Amino acid sequence: MTEVTARRIAEALAEVRGESVRYPTLEQQAVIEADPAEPALVVAGAGSGKTETMANRVLWLVANRHLKPAEVLGLTFTRKAAGELAERIRTRLAELHTAGLAPDDHDLFDAPEISTYNSFASTVFRDNALVLGRDGDGVVLGEAAAWQLARNVVVRSTDPRLEQLDKRLESVVEATLQIARGIADNDADPERIRAIGRRFAGLPELPLGGTAEYASDVERMREIAQLELLVDLAREYDEAKRLRGAVDFADQVVLALHAVRARPAAVEELRARFRVVLLDEYQDTSVVQTDLLAELFAGTPVTAVGDPNQSIYGWRGASASNLREFRPRFRRRDGHPATRFTLSTSWRNGTRILDAANTLVGASTGEGAEVPTLEARPGASEFGVDSIYPETVTEEAAAVARWLRQRLDESRVRTGRPASAALLLRARKTQPYFLDAMREAGVPYHVLGVGGLLAEPEIADLVSALRVLDDPDAGLELLRLLAGARWRIGVADLDQLREVAGWLGRHDSAESGILSDELQQRIRESVAGDEGGSIVDALEFVGRAAEGHRALEGFSAEGLARLRAAATTFDRLRSRTGLELPELLVLVARELRLDIEIAANETRTAGRRTSTRCSTRSRGT
Ligand SMILES: Nc1ncnc2c1ncn2[C@@H]1O[C@H](COP(=O)(O)OP(=O)(O)OP(=O)(O)O)[C@@H](O)[C@H]1O
């Protein structure tokens, strides 16, 4: 049988689609036609056709009868990316079939297994959980449930070290979760981390030579010394999960690793099922993910694709060294490190944009040597890059909005049609400045993604109300609503409400008689005690308190009436929280009169098509 080359496949697909041929570059061709029995690493920049090349590699493998599509395992990070890759491969396999290049016995329903790293690990864990004495069908805790459980652990902890910790409850819960996840993501030994904490604990006591110079270092040493306590809390959190038969996302990967180490047959089964493995966005895999993949697939034909300059999960145990370590870990059959390929043609950017991007990337990471410098595709555009150096973000936003206005107007005059543009932001927190500036400059926009939606005032109100219904600590959210258009309660009355909250906090723990003096004292001093008391509880109290109650004295008459009305509204809503979420949302929106506000506000763009898209992208150039 003569080999079906990557170029031949490109021609066949173009013919089926009735389009001009998009030949692979020589670099792409080398990856697509690489030895099907050997591992490979592809280091490639943004928009250099990584996904395209992976999809074409599957076609080449199938067309040349190296394997059937179902024998390919493809892993990537997000469900969206997995869906896109699966769809690209599925469509192309169908085109390959139409072009007559698929093997005769090709089954159109036979598709590769494309999934996310997490869900793959979850399946491996579930299938092999028994070997670890765990329940494979246990609950998987989402973000919110994990937080709630960790919070319970911290609040219930009687550890005396918590008293000395000068931290808010939220910070301790967050740190406990981070340590628990850090241990899981790195498959770290908790004892070693505790030992680091112990080593640092004594340092601040050493004589410092009488200068204040080390103050910030001492502060840091104290933080590190807290590791012991946090590791202990993290262990209690793990124990709490175990008792409930629950796991969180990070656990699934480390448990999958432990399970396959304990059960070599699991490795054999997966190797027999998947003859070729494609790993996308490899730069973002965590230490434990790479350990799991190596345990399962080292020595088999694994192709990893990655770009160290697009790494976004550094905080989670991912490191660019994952890419460097791939080749020695996934060796060829002759014992040599996996072959390294590069892709260096950018298919997305014009020449001058690329020049600017290459300069910036080279300057900021110092890792340019590892990633090939991207070159523009033949016929790439020559649009220039403008730069400005404003002093404040407000000035920057105004300049950007003016620039956009001008370009959009020019384009409309030139083409006779409205044009569209994309605005990418560095950080979500600057988004409101840019939206204001665009409104001011008359540039219609549509914010993409949930982040943008959350910035819309009505949605922020809706989310705030849901928090208030669920969480007695959602004081800020409640204040936002009380001060907002629905109840318009003034500062003096809000301040009085805060007073009531404080009074209630002191009163409750003193009057309840349930807690011992010692425990009350400890709660006050510890992280769990919140001196301010709960504003949410205070509003409930104001709603319930009898006319003339001492605690109601400081409110204005009008303020009190509105607060009581608000309390009734939240009471009513609280009694309906058992509803399905969409119904509850409609109800809350109606009670807050947000539906009227949206209808009355002309500038709201939600659901309407407008010309400028605004998003905070996390990857790519
Ligand atoms: N040889 C080629 N000829 C023409 N177009 C190509 C070629 N290779 C890739 N492209 C196109 O370039 C664009 C970018 O490709 P792709 O999405 O695969 O890049 P990527 O490297 O995966 O991107 P990212 O860095 O965002 O992950 C796509 O529209 C793709 O169809």
| Residue 562 belongs to domain with CATH number | 1.10.486
212 pLDDT band (50/70/90 cuts)?
low
Owning domain of residue 419: 393-455+608-615
- Top pLDDT among 323 and 49 is at 49
Measured distance CA(460)–CA(474) in Å, rounded: 13
Q: Which of 244, 267, 300 is the last residue of a domain?
A: 244
What is the overall mean pLDDT for the chain? 84
Measured distance CA(111)–CA(68) in Å, rounded: 8
Ligand 1 mutation pick, 23, 28, 33, 52, max ligand atoms within 8 A of CB: 52
In a domain, 131, yes or no: no
Å from CA of 92 to ligand 1 middle: 15
In a domain, 224, yes or no: yes
Establish whether 299 is an annotated binding residue: no
Tell me, yes or no, whether 514 and 484 share the same domain: yes
Residue 369's pLDDT is: 39
Tell me, yes or no, whether 401 and 451 share the same domain: yes
Tell me, yes or no, whether 511 and 482 share the same domain: yes
Of 164-168, 177-181, 611-615, give the lowest mean pLDDT range. 611-615
Residue 208's pLDDT is: 63
In a domain, 207, yes or no: yes
In a domain, 75, yes or no: yes
Measured distance CA(255)–CA(546) in Å, rounded: 56
pLDDT in tens, 84-142: 999 999 999 999 999 998 887 777 788 899 999 999 999 999 999 998 888 888 888 87
Q: Which ligand 1 atom sits nearest the alpha carbon of residue 44?
A: 21
What's the average model confidence in pLDDT over 491-514? 75
In a domain, 620, yes or no: no
What's the average model confidence in pLDDT over 266-290? 93
Which candidate, 457, 389, 398, places its Cα nearest to that of 593?
457
What's the average model confidence in pLDDT over 347-365? 80
514 pLDDT band (50/70/90 cuts)?
very low
Q: Residue 508: pLDDT above 70? A: no
Residue 567's pLDDT is: 94
- Top pLDDT among 508 and 75 is at 75
Tell me, yes or no, whether 326 and 359 share the same domain: no
Q: Which ligand 1 atom sits nearest the alpha carbon of residue 281?
A: 27
Of 46-60, 256-270, 272-286, 517-531, give the lowest mean pLDDT range. 517-531
Task: Please count the other Cβ atoms lying within 10 Å of the Cβ belonging to residue 463.
Answer: 15
- Top pLDDT among 84 and 429 is at 84
Name every protein residue with a CB atom under 6 angstroms from any ligand 1 atom.
Answer: 22, 24-25, 28, 44, 46-52, 347-348, 620
Q: Residue 610: pLDDT above 70? A: no
Tell me, yes or no, whether 422 and 470 share the same domain: no
pLDDT in tens, 402-421: 999 999 999 999 999 999 99
Q: Residue 520: pLDDT above 70? A: no
Instruction: Report the predicted TM-score, pTM, of the whole model to 2 decimal places.
Output: 0.71
pLDDT in tens, 454-499: 767 888 899 999 999 888 888 889 999 999 988 999 999 999 999 8
Establish whether 566 is an annotated binding residue: no
Tell me, yes or no, whether 497 and 584 share the same domain: yes
In a domain, 130, yes or no: no
Measured distance CA(72)–CA(36) in Å, rounded: 11
In a domain, 426, yes or no: yes
Q: Which ligand 1 atom sits nearest the alpha carbon of residue 52?
A: 18
pLDDT in tens, 229-270: 899 999 999 999 988 888 888 889 999 999 999 999 999 999
Establish whether 49 is an annotated binding residue: yes
DSSP at 588: H
Residues 6 or more apart from 370 whose CB is under 8 A from it?
43, 308, 320, 323, 324
Q: Where are the beta strands (DSSP E) in 218-270?
A: 246-248
Contacts 24+ apart (CB under 8 A), 455-464: 455/428, 455/431, 456/604, 456/606, 458/589, 458/594, 458/597, 458/598, 458/604, 461/486, 461/592, 461/594, 462/585, 462/588, 462/589, 462/592, 462/594
Tell me, yes or no, whether 448 and 465 share the same domain: no
Count of the separate structural domains present in the chain: 5
Establish whether 45 is an annotated binding residue: yes
Establish whether 51 is an annotated binding residue: yes
What's the average model confidence in pLDDT over 324-350? 93
Structure tokens at 141: 């805790």
Å from CA of 374 to ligand 1 middle: 13
Residue 193's pLDDT is: 86
| Residue 273 belongs to domain with CATH number | 3.40.50.300
Residue closest via CA to ligand 1's atom 18 equals: 49
Tell me, yes or no, whether 355 and 413 share the same domain: no
Residue closest via CA to ligand 1's atom 25 equals: 46
Establish whether 37 is an annotated binding residue: no
Å from CA of 47 to ligand 1 middle: 5
Å from CA of 9 to ligand 1 middle: 17
Å from CA of 51 to ligand 1 middle: 7
Query: CA triplet 27, 32, 36: central angle to 5 degrees?
Result: 130
Residue 1's pLDDT is: 60
Å from CA of 53 to ligand 1 middle: 8
Of 130-134, 166-170, 359-363, 526-530, give the lowest mean pLDDT range. 526-530
Å from CA of 618 to ligand 1 middle: 18
In a domain, 251, yes or no: no
Which candidate, 508, 507, 492, places its Cα nearest to that of 563?
492
Q: Which of 244, 278, 295 is the last residue of a domain?
A: 244
Tell me, yes or no, whether 281 and 320 share the same domain: yes
Tell me, yes or no, whether 116 and 154 share the same domain: no
Contact criterion met (CB below 8 Å) for 108 and 93: yes
Tell me, yes or no, whether 268 and 329 share the same domain: yes
Measured distance CA(544)–CA(365) in Å, rounded: 60
Tell me, yes or no, whether 476 and 560 share the same domain: yes
Residue closest via CA to ligand 1's atom 4 equals: 22
Residue 275's pLDDT is: 94
